[in-house]
Chain A
């Protein structure tokens, strides 16, 4: 599913090159639930962004299925994101002024799905997160947990193979966090590949496998 060889990433801060990832190689098979952990600055978010095709590596190869992601240009990455990937962010990242339903429809808009089909699929996705009755609400009218569930519905609506989650419970209290993680567990049991960054051990405990990064390198790979 996901195969990375010697991925390197650095940022330029003026004249100084700041290395973030110093050669990461990993393989994540289909339908795995993976947590990426590590102290801040270890490069876990950068690694997740590269896996999610939001950022590009400077060196190394990355294959998603059979696609050589490192060869793709901007618009091809967009196509890849909308066909294979679903995103869940720490800050939910819903568009503030439009309804939950419209937010969930958005990936389908860019995928060119017809309007009626869009609404049908968006409602189905909202049902999966048990928020169909809040379809008409704008984000501000929803609680944090509800907003994150809308975001998960949005991530699911394209029926992606991989869910990319960047600290999905980071802004939620522990009760709501558990609800969200139960949702992820459910998705995983349906065969989704889930790759999640977290810094909380108990949240990482929901995953099958924990990748630990330190200082830009893969330090440990625990499978259960």
Chain B
């Protein structure tokens, strides 16, 4: 007698995936408490990972929104006052004058988009007054490019024009806090007159509110809403000086920062010889530093949260293993009734994956809810990113497969006769 053709030797999973899936679902429903407990393990893990991802994304958004108030491509060049060379240190002055600004501006370098001088007093107290109201404002003399370099926008009126500068016009653009102090929150200041150190100055524009709460809270960044911006020429006239404190420029891109700094320093050196040393502050540095800090914080958070996900996965492996032992006899029955290894393996894998997927979805909901809760409480915009949602779901299914595979493999490998004998 030879082997007949009645049985194909190929392994063919006759049973549809849907049916196996339903068997798995049934088994989970039959052991509700066990299922819920193992789902919770994964829920906590995914919720933790999601919260960390959401909070760090929110934090990043917050910090970058505030960094933007300085202009992300900004650089500042000023005299290095920590001069060690005594022959240089003895010299007074800011080391930058109008001619330097004009030279840089007229050089029209590819690395520099815009440039504005920033003139300010050396500690003089300006008396800013309107009627009998006073304001403690920071006064800066700037050029027309200052507005866009600093990502400032106007709520009302207009900004400085070139003729305001060339004609030393007594005009001012004020911040929201200055408006509040001098006129009141809802009073239109444009066209009104204020007094700065005894001179009448006409308000021509009102700056939009700018938020630097976070940066101020860690001690960097001044209040952007208490600024009064004047034509730098007019402020120089008030101060009786020809000096510029800082040159602020917008580079043509973050990658061109070093070139722009080098260029400006080079022009200054050519015009002043070795009389002064100059220092540059760049947003590029701050952005790099910020990115490094954020990456470190996020990484630590993700690692910490992943530990709980790992523990959840171990819990599933443990529970699934117990479940295989408990259901040894059932597995034997199923095999006797014609279930293949594949059928049993698939059922237990489905069970594990369903647990982790459900846990993952629940964790997502919890994590996102926590994000929105924090968002409402802190005002930070903590919305989950779609990629992190996708990653969380993928990770939870992956945890299911990994932690479910060993128990499922053991179940599938059971010999029917031994499994049936199991009490």
**What separation, in Å, do the CA atoms of A1 and B7 have in the docked complex?**
15
Cα distance A82–B334 in the bound complex, in angstroms: 10
Interface residues in A65-80 (C-beta closer than 8 Å to B): 65-68, 71-72, 74-76, 78-80
Q: Distance (Å) between the CB of B10 and the closest chain A CB?
A: 9
B342 near A75 (CB under 8 angstroms)? yes
* Given A93-B329, A95-B333, A109-B19, also A82-B11 (CB < 8 A): no
Nearest-neighbour CB distance to chain A for B252, whole angstroms, equals: 67
Q: Is B337 engaged at the interface, CB distance under 8 Å to the other chain? A: yes
Shortest CB distance B200–A (Å): 90
- Closest chain-A Cβ to B141's Cβ sits at a distance in Å of 83
Closest CB-CB distance, A104 to chain B, in whole Å? 10
Q: Are A67 and B420 in contact (CB under 8 A)?
A: no
A80, A112, A158: the one contacting B14 at CB < 8 Å is: A112
Chain B residues whose C-beta falls within 8 Å of the C-beta of A65 in the assembled complex: 4, 6
State in angstroms the CA–CA spacing of A72 and B340 once bound together: 13
Q: Is A81 an interface residue (CB 8 A)?
A: yes
- Interface check A171, CB cutoff 8 A: no
B378 CB–A CB distance under 8 Å: no
CB neighbours (8 Å) of A112 from chain B are 14-16
Chain A residues within an 8 Å CB radius of B41? none
Q: How many residues of A contact B (CB 8 A)?
A: 37
Is B176 an interface position by the 8 A CB rule? no
Q: Taking the complex as formed, is B66 at the interface, i.e. its CB lies under 8 A from any CB of chain A? A: no
Query: How many angstroms between the C-alpha atoms of A93 and B419 in the bound complex?
Result: 12
Instruction: Report A151 CB to chain B, min CB distance, Å.
Output: 10
Q: Is the CB of A111 within 8 A of B14?
A: yes
CA distance in complex: A200, B140 (Å): 110
Residues of B near A95 (CB, < 8 A) are 330, 333-334
Residues of chain B in range 318-366 having any CB-CB distance to chain A below 8 Å: 329-330, 332-343
A89, B14: Cβ atoms closer than 8 Å = no
Select one of A71, A76, A80, A110 contacting B337, CB under 8 A: A110
- B132 in the interface (beta carbon within 8 A): no
Is A107 located at the chain interface by the 8 A CB criterion?
Answer: yes
Known: A55-B416, A98-B26, A110-B339. 13 other contacts (CB 8 A): A63-B1, A71-B3, A72-B7, A74-B340, A78-B340, A79-B14, A79-B338, A82-B337, A97-B30, A106-B334, A112-B15, A112-B16, A154-B337
7 example contacts (A-B, Cβ-Cβ < 8 A) are as follows: A65-B6, A78-B335, A81-B335, A94-B333, A97-B30, A107-B338, A111-B15
> Chain B residues in contact with chain A, CB under 8 A?
1-4, 6-9, 11-12, 14-16, 19, 23, 26, 30, 329-330, 332-343, 415-417, 420
Please report A residues at the B interface, Cβ cutoff 8 Å.
3, 49, 52, 54-55, 63, 65-68, 71-72, 74-76, 78-83, 87, 89, 93-95, 97-98, 106-107, 109-112, 115, 154, 158
